């Protein structure tokens, strides 16, 4: 009976198409009355490579618990991203997260993901294959990941812009 339960739980884990990557694990300490209390902070990016991605932070007394909490937090903060036919973003965009700034520009097919650090991880798990990105300001992985999420959250495709302006898509292309 127990074997059947294990098989079904494994099957459910295999069916999910979410990928998760740990950007950073930090050991942090808190000074309390009895001395120092150690815990871990994990920054995790969760994405399905089909236009959904999220960044989560988890804190726990062990690394595995922190990563699990980070994955759960990342799934709560998912963002839908419009991806063009050339596996790029629809238009240039900027994002800010804390002291970090990120600039993203669409790229021609075959360019690849030209980005560094946490921004690269966010873009890859979002499913963007051709993009140029640059980190400015802080090199803190959490702030850069949040800046990348901020930049991706403001992306819109032609149909959304046409709907907001209440015009036909053909008229929008003509302008």
Q: What share of the chain is helix, strand, coil (3-state, %, to 5)?
A: 35, 35, 30
CA-to-CA separations, 1 to 7, 10, 65, 156, in angstroms, rounded: 10, 15, 28, 50
pLDDT at 28 over 90: yes
**Are residues 83 and 152 in contact, defined by beta-carbon separation less than 8 angstroms?**
no
Three-state secondary structure call for residue 98? coil
Model pTM score = 0.84
Residue-wise pLDDT tens digits, 105-160: 999 999 999 999 999 999 999 999 999 999 999 999 999 999 999 999 999 887 78
Fold of the CATH domain 2-79? Double Stranded RNA Binding Domain (3.30.160)
Q: What is the pLDDT of residue 175?
A: 63
Q: Is the pLDDT of residue 5 over 80?
A: no
Rg of the chain taking only CA atoms, in angstroms = 19
Rounded to whole angstroms, the maximal C-alpha distance in the chain is 71
CATH 3.30.160.20 segments of the chain: 2-79
Please give the full DSSP string across 5-63, using - where no structure is assigned. Answer: HHHHHHHHHHH---EEEEEEEEEEEEEETTEEEEEEEEEEEEE-SSSEEEEEEEEESSH
Instruction: Report the Cα–Cα distance between both ends of the chain, in Å, rounded.
Output: 66
- Which of 113, 110, 112 is closest to 148 using CA atoms? 113
Give yes or no for residue 1 having a pLDDT over 70: no
pLDDT of residue 12: 52
**Band of residue 3 on the pLDDT scale cut at 50, 70, 90:** low
**Cα four-point dihedral sign 103, 106, 111, 117:** positive
Helix axes 117-126, 141-153, angle to 10 degrees: 40
pLDDT of 60-119, one tens digit each?
A: 999 999 999 999 999 999 999 999 898 999 999 999 999 999 999 999 999 999 999 999
Q: Which CATH class is domain 81-161?
A: alpha beta
CA dist., res. 95 & res. 106, Å (int): 15
Q: Where in the chain is the domain with CATH 3.30.230.10?
A: 81-161
């Amino acid at each position: 009976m127990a074997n059947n339960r294990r098989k079904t739980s494994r099957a459910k884990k295999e069916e999910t198409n979410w990928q998760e990557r740990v950007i950073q694990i930090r050991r942090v300490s808190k000074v309390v009355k009895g001395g120092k209390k150690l815990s871990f902070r994990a920054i995790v990016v969760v994405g399905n490579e089909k236009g959904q991605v999220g960044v989560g932070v988890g804190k726990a007394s062990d690394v595995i618990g922190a990563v699990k909490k980070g994955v759960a937090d990342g799934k709560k903060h998912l963002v839908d991203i419009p991806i063009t036919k050339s596996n790029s973003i629809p238009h240039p965009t900027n994002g800010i997260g804390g002291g970090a700034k990120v600039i993203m520009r669409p790229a021609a097919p075959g360019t690849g993901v030209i980005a560094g650090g946490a921004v690269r991880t966010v873009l890859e798990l979002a499913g963007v294959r051709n993009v140029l990105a640059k980190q400015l300001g802080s090199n803190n992985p959490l702030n850069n990941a949040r800046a990348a999420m901020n930049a991706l959250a403001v992306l819109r495709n032609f149909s959304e812009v046409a709907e907001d302006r209440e015009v036909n898509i053909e008229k929008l292309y003509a302008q």
